[in-house]
Structure 1
Amino acid sequence: MRTFAIGDIHGGLKALIQVLNKLELKDGDKIIFMGDYVDGWSESAQVVQFLIDLSEKFDCIFIKGNHDVWCANWLKDSNDVNPSWFLHGGKETMESYASFSEKDKKQHLEFFENLPLYYIDTENRLFLHAGFTSMHGVEKEQFKELFYLDRSLWEMLLVLDRKIEKDSIFYPKRIQHYKEIYIGHTPTTNYNNPNPMNIANVWNVDTGAAFKGKVTGLNIETKEFVQSDNLPSLYPNEKGRNK
């Protein structure tokens, strides 16, 4: 059995399909999606439907991202249009639902509402969209919205002195609870890196699909990865969130 972590998709169905084709999925494979399925490119509703259908064929874990929360709020109440969400991909997501029935929208809302905030596998590997702040691990996190909003975990790692030993009192306690941690949310392209980034035992697989980057699928055992084309080349008549 292989396990793959797939980074933020942001409505880029064409990119997602490219990644899955390159992974050549087999029976028994597990796919862990890191959240933010919507907002950006024009096929957000189509991505959600594709994922629902995919879960009937493969073992899939879908983590909740912040954009998924905002989309769910709108699906629940069409008058609940967060202004920031609207400007950061929400408009394109709303438009992608134009041809979807109320029954479809209800199914998608149920999909969003049932998304877990994090997942821990049998090897004590943690998967979540953004981060957490509790030094005692995710189970002790008091502010659950941080699982899809926090950037402090990744920002802490960016300045981590690699010379600090794991048993040092100065080594970050947050990351000591897990064998590995996989996140999305903060594009690696922010740091001029088009590929997944690894710092300590944390892997960031958001490679900027919302903007000018790609969707990435990472084999968590071998650390080999495949990527889509850059999203603007797949949607040449769109801007995504490159506004």
Structure 2
Amino acid sequence: MSTYAIGDIHGGLKALEEVLLLAPISKEDTLIFLGDYVDGWSQSAQVVSFLMDLSRQYHCIFIKGNHDNWCEDWLRNGKPNDSWLRHGGISAMASYHDYSEQEKMAHLHWFEALRLFYIDDKKRLFIHAGFTSIHGPEHEFKHPVFSWDRTLWEVALTMDKRIKKDSLLYPKRLKLFEEIFIGHTPTLYYNSSLPLNGCNVWNIDTGAAFTGPLTIMNVDTKEYWQTEPVYKLYPNELGRNKAKS
């Protein structure tokens, strides 16, 4: 049995279907989705429907991302957050055009049930963005940190190969887990469309919302599979890009 982590999807159903075919997953494996299922490409609602169906066939664990928080709030109260509208919310709302109120409520319940983080029996943490408490995410004062924090990733990159793990200067947050798997911060920000590693943190958001591919990784072996850049699957859309490059 293997465990696979899947990066930020951002409404790219075509990429999601493709990446699941690329990896040699079986019904005995665990699929952990790191959040941000919506916003960007035109199939946000369809991604959620697909994942709901997928969970009936596979052992799936779904982590909540910051974009999922926004969409959840809109489904609950009908009022879109202004920041959400500027960051992909318009396309997400449009994807629900043909959905009934009953279907929307089913999606709302799905969003409400998403996990904030997951720790497996090998002491590996799966979380959308990060956490700030030196005692771990269970002791975090404000839960929104889980879907927004970038400091965990920045610290991991800064400390990588510079300070040994047994040093008093080594960040306590990083010592809490054998490995940490995150999304949220596209590796495109670091001029890479591949998964990146810093210390014991693996970033699997390879920029599917922009000009990068969608990635799935076997977290045991670190082998990974990627789609083509997702914008090529949606040639008439811009996703979250102001212009394609």
TM superposition score category, shorter chain reference: over 0.9
Q: CA deviation at 1:161?
A: 5.1
SS, match of residue 174 in structure 2: helix
Matching of residue 68 in structure 1 with residue 68 in structure 2? yes
The yes-or-no answer on 1:16 pairing with 2:16 is yes
Tell me, yes or no, if structure 1 residue 5 matches structure 2 residue 5.
Answer: yes
Q: Which amino acid aligns with 1:223?
A: K
Question: Following superposition of structure 1 onto structure 2, how do residues 83-232 of structure 1 map, counting pairs within 5 Å?
Answer: 83-160=82-159, 162-232=161-231
Within 2, Cα distance between the matches of 1:200 and 1:158?
7
CA distance in 2, matches of 1:151, 1:217: 21
Structure 2: which amino acid aligns with 1:165? K
Query: In structure 1, how many angstroms separate the alpha carbons of the residues matched to 2:174 and 2:205?
Result: 19
| Distance (whole Å) between structure 2 residues aligned to residue 151 and residue 161 of structure 1 | 16
TM-score (norm 1): 0.98
Q: Give the distance between the partners of 1:232 and 1:17, measured in 2 at CA.
A: 15
**Cα distance, 1:139 vs. partner?**
1.3
The equivalent of 1:239 in structure 2 is: 238
Tell me the distance in 2 between the aligned counterparts of 1:174 and 1:143: 16
Q: How much identity, in percent, do the aligned residues show?
A: 57
**C-alpha distance in structure 1 between counterparts of 2:89 and 2:33, whole Å:** 20
Deviation sequence 1:97-134 (CA, Å, 0-9, x none): 00111111000000000001000000000000000000
SS at the partner of 1:31?
A: strand
Residue aligned with 1:135, SS: coil
How many residues are treated as equivalent by the alignment?
Answer: 242
Q: Secondary structure of 2:159's match?
A: coil
User: Cα–Cα, structure 1 residues 161 and 13, in superposed 2: closer, same or farther, change >3 Å?
Assistant: closer
Misfit runs of 4+, over 3 Å? none
Q: What's the RMSD between the two structures over aligned residues? A: 0.8
